[in-house]
Chains A and B, each alone.
Chain A
């Protein structure tokens, strides 16, 4: 099993801030890493796949990077709509998710 560990678990930030979430895999997942955003009562929505490829319609303030075991999701200029929980997901060996990072209003 590939374990995924996100940090931090909670992040307090203000509108306009640049925020970074880190995801570490227990084994090499190459570029097979996706990021999801989930809002309360809603299904997760994929933002990024293949570590850095933005899904259609996702604002360009979101970006992803990394390869192997260390990945980051950056939101450049946090907007009110971005307060949510973010998950990483590896798909090198079936699927496992990080435990989530809740981005809350400071």
Chain B
């Protein structure tokens, strides 16, 4: 069974750094793009970025470019999303997602993690 297991909820203050993670299992982790989608109440679903574990190639949404950094550890089948300097506007539910075709970038996001809730507030 394909699973994307995400790290726990985070509550942070503005200006703090943060790293959230997602471990893939039940499939060939290195062969599928993996990434992140944010959901904020009232703003729907937005893709953040994706990374290819095979060579760490990345694609960022223009809305998130420069604001976040994605990385991947093939040995532990884990993808990471990090912020160096959180803002209140970074708050939201962050879903780990898999791009649903092997070695293909543009395919539907077929598998979703359970989400990591990030709350940034002073």
Q: Interface residues, chain A, CB within 8 Å of chain B?
A: 1, 32, 34, 43-46, 49, 55, 87, 89, 91-100
Contacts and interface: CB of A to CB of B under 8 A. Distances in A.
Interface stretch (B10-18, B43-51, B80-88): B43-51
Given A94-B47, A97-B45, A49 B110 contact: yes
B112 A45 contact: yes
What is the interface residue range for chain B against chain A?
10 to 19
B107 interface: yes
Interface of B: 37, 44-47, 59, 61-62, 95, 100, 106-110, 112-115
Contacts, number: 46
Contact of A95 (B62, B109, B115): B109
Contacts of A93: 106
Contacts of A87: 44-45
The prevalent SS among residues of A at the interface is loop
Contact of A92 (B61, B95, B106, B113): B106
Contacts of A89: 45, 108-109
B71 to A, nearest CB: 20
Query: Nearest 5 A-B pairs (CB), nearest first?
Result: A43-B112, A34-B108, A97-B45, A95-B47, A49-B108
Nearest to B45: A97
A106 B115 CA distance: 30
9 contacts: A32-B106, A34-B108, A34-B109, A43-B95, A43-B112, A45-B112, A46-B108, A49-B108, A95-B37
A5 to B, nearest CB: 11
A46 B62 CA distance: 25
Contacts of A32: 106
Contacts of B45: 44, 87, 89, 97
